[in-house]
Every structure is written in structure tokens, then in C-alpha cells.
Amino acid sequence: MTALDLSSPVAVVGTGTMGQGIAQVALVAGHPVRLYDAVDGRAREAADAIGARLDRLVEKDRLTGAERDAARARLTSAGSLDALAGCALVVEAVVERLDVKQELFRALEDVVGDDCLLATNTSSLSVTAVGGALRVPGRFVGLHFFNPAPLLPLVEVVSGFATDPASATRAYETARAWGKTPVTCADTPGFVVNRVARPFYAEALAVHELRAADPATIDAVLRESGGFRMGAFELTDLIGQDVNESVTHSVWQAFFQDVRFTPSLAQRRLVESGRLGRKSGQGWYDYRDGAERPGPHTAPPAEAPAYVVVEGELGPAAELIGLIREAGVEVRPEDGYGAGRIVLPDGGTLCLTDGGLPGSEDLVHFDLALDYRAATRIALSASAGVRPGLLSGATGLFQALGKEVSVVGDVPGMIVARTVARIIDLAFDAVARGVATPEDVDTAMRLGVNYPLGPFEWNRRLGDAWARDLLSHIHEWEPSGRCAPSLALHRHAAAADAREGTPS
């Protein structure tokens, strides 16, 4: 099954931002495109808006004048659904209401031929439910573009329960022919991206609700240590707090209120107050004229130790040994058992967070970094009773490596580590349930939400048992079940333990 021929007309129903973007993608790819909107006049306005964007593409040398003129000639606004007869593909981008979408597709079946591919761009509704009332449900598929559709490469091709494999293949090949990077997935709440991405927001909100750190500090640690392009609070302000919370709530409800997807009360209160983010002028941050953006908590300068003792293997933090030496701090290696640690001259110990609490007055945890050499900030955590001077010595050590240091509360798993571990866990769970392949999950998370690594790439880098062990420790301290490792992650880690002869 191949992509639709370029001579085949494509229709887009719904001419908001997403509908216009999808229409532009199909148009620039070479298809005749018909726009329809139930509100009189909006299809014509959308056609004019797309024409203006084509003009800007010419100004940026991304289209020639001749290509623009040809595209404009292929674009028409339809005055009724009947004008969509003869289309080979109809993509719906109307309001996210099941009854509205079902009524639309039932009406479309009376207009288009039985070989016309019907697609929904829904991000929160069940593809199976939307297409369930159709006379020919096998030709119905989800085509979930990401906003803005002309710029973002990812398209999730979602097969509902009744979708014919040939229809999904044709949709996939057509999206690829349009210059997109499609991934295939089953019809599950949130599909791939909105399912696997929930912990990125949830863990930041959890750390904030536990009063371990403020939004600006959490965002800075996620960016500067975790390698994420944006922090969770600034990203939800950009998306819209109401939109982000609605997706979270939808996924939670669709999974029968699974505790792993529980929405945040803090975000609920923000939405109730009307602070929806950039679009309302206030969210977690203040975007009004003259407002000053708060900075992250950054520790004052401290003295670096003359030497450190490194006991055992530091695992994901092994790169720190070379960085410490390069900073002129002597490293004295010693054999050790269990998790590796860095010991300061006064006997205080630094360890990469393992999902537990520091507990001891002689222990400071540091957070995970995507790349300890490239990281510009490191988070430290200690118990309230930490021995005086130990936190200062730990701060001075990381400052000697050229890092800003943020001291956060003693929350299990800190910030980056618990976030990455939960993303890995949901990815393994999704694959085990047949939602998508590991390769498609990694592609979806890198392209759909700009993660620096896909979950399975992270798992290979950190070790097969790392996420399981960290989440198990968090679960001991927070036994709600929200951070408990999935059966899929347990199986994967146990298999790795067996290969290495390590007791599970």
C-alpha cells in the first residue's frame, strides 16, 4: 500500500490553527486541498491565511514564486460537505468533542466514496470511539499532527480497534510523502507522546507541591542538568495550563483513574484562578509588561576541597571523576562495594540519588545529569540535620567543576532522576502493551516533545536496572503506587540481572 497520489484531493474539515497547518502541509506536498468549516466564511478566511503564509515561505526562499502560485491554485474553500465528494482523504480538526466528531464522520460517509480514507487529528479522544459509528470503520485512522503542523515533523498514525492495516499503512506512507516522520501506535489514551510525557510535568509538580523547590529552580535543573529544552513550568505556561491539565485529566480518566497519571491539585488551582500561562499574562510566571522573571535558587560561592576519595563505581556519574581531576582537585580512588560514592576530607559523603532520602547527617545526594561535562547546573539535596560544613563542601566541589549549584529539599529521587526514571517506566509499559515499538517511542519523544534522548536511549545509557531500582526506592518512601515500577520494567531489569548474575 503506497501513499496517496499527488493528484488525489485532500480535504480538511475545521479551519483553526491546526486545520490550517495540516492543509498547508498537504498543499505544499502537491495535493489539491479543499477546506471546509461549519461556520460560514471561515474556510475562505483560512484559505487567505494559508496564502499569506505561502507568501512568507517565498520571502524566506523556502518556496519559489511559481510553486506558491501553483499551490494557491490547488487550494479551494468548500461551502458545504457535499463539495468534498471525490476526495481521497479527509482529515478532521474540529472541536475535541466525541459527539461532534462522530456526527461529522457519519455525514461524511454519505458524501465520500467507500475508498476515501477518513482521519481524525484528535489528541485526547479514542480513535476507536470516534470511528465506532461508521458504516465502513476499517478506513478510519488517527493522524495526530503536532502544533505547528508545518514545522513539527512528528505524526502519530493511530490504529483504532477496527482500523484496517492497509488504511494505517496508507496513512503512514502519505504522512511520510508529505515530509513528516510518522510513527505507528495503537489506540491508547494519550497515544505515545501524551502518554509517555506525563511524568515530565507530574514530577516537577510533585517536587513543587512537596515544597522541595520553586518552579524557577525546578525548570533550571531540568534544562541545565537534565538537558531538556524547556522546564516543565515554563513549558506548561507556553502550552496553556488549561490545555495541559485537560490532557492530563483526560489520560487519567481514560486509564480509569490510574494513580500513575493523577493530575496535580496545584495546577488545578492555577487554572481555577485564571492564570493560564502566556496567553492570559500569568501562569507559573508573570508575563505582564514590566514583570521580572524569578531566577533559580543558586548557592553562594563555597570553597572546594583539596582532595576527594572515590569509593567504588559511580555508574551514570562516572564522568565526574575526570572533571574533578581537571578542576585540580586530587582524586584518591579506593575499592568499594555497592553504589559508588565521593568522600570529602571531613568524612562527608556525596552520592548520586538512588531514590531514597539522604537521611544521614554525613550524606548529600546529587541529581542525575544528561551529560555531567555539559551540564551547567547541579542539584544537591541533604536532610535537615546535615552536618554543618558538609553541604558547603559539596557545593564547593561542584562549583570547582564550573557548575551552578541549586540546593533543593530532600525529596526522593530529586528532580531529573525521578523524572527520567518515570518516563523510562511508562515507555516500557507502553511497549509491553503493544502501543508502539521502542524505536517509534524514542522517535516520538525526541521529535514530539524535543527530549534530548528517547526513553530507551536513556535506559541504555543509564543501565537496565537503574530506573527499576530508583523507582523502587521512591516507592518505599512514597507508597501511593504512583512511582512503583511497572511489571514490564521489572521484567526487563530482572532479565538484565540474570544475564549479569545479579540477584534481583
As annotated, the active-site residues are: 123, 144, 156, 194
Cα radius of gyration rounded to whole Å, the chain: 26
Q: How far apart are CA 70 and CA 88, in angstroms?
A: 20
Q: How many angstroms from the chain centroid is the CA of residue 324?
A: 33
β-strand pairing of 341-343 with 307-311: antiparallel
Torsion sign (Cα): 355, 405, 238, 121 = negative
309: three-class secondary structure by DSSP: strand
CA–CA distance, 411 with 194 (Å, rounded to integer):
25
CA-based end-to-end distance of the chain: 46
**What grid cell was written down for 180?**
513528516
Q: Return d(Cα 446, Cα 454) in angstroms, integer.
A: 6
Q: Please state, in angstroms and rounded to a whole number, the distance separating the CA atoms of residues 394 and 383.
A: 14
Strands 181-186 and 33-36: unpaired
Angle between helix axes 416-432 and 466-477 (nearest 10 degrees) is 110
Q: In what order do the strands lie in the sheet with 140-145?
A: 75-77, 33-36, 10-13, 89-92, 117-120, 140-145, 154-159, 181-186
d(CA 122, CA 145): 9
| d(C-alpha 150, C-alpha 225), whole Å | 31
Please spell the DSSP secondary structure of 405-465, one letter per residue.
EEEE---TTTTHHHHHHHHHHHHHHHHHTTS--HHHHHHHHHHHS--SS-HHHHHHHH-TT
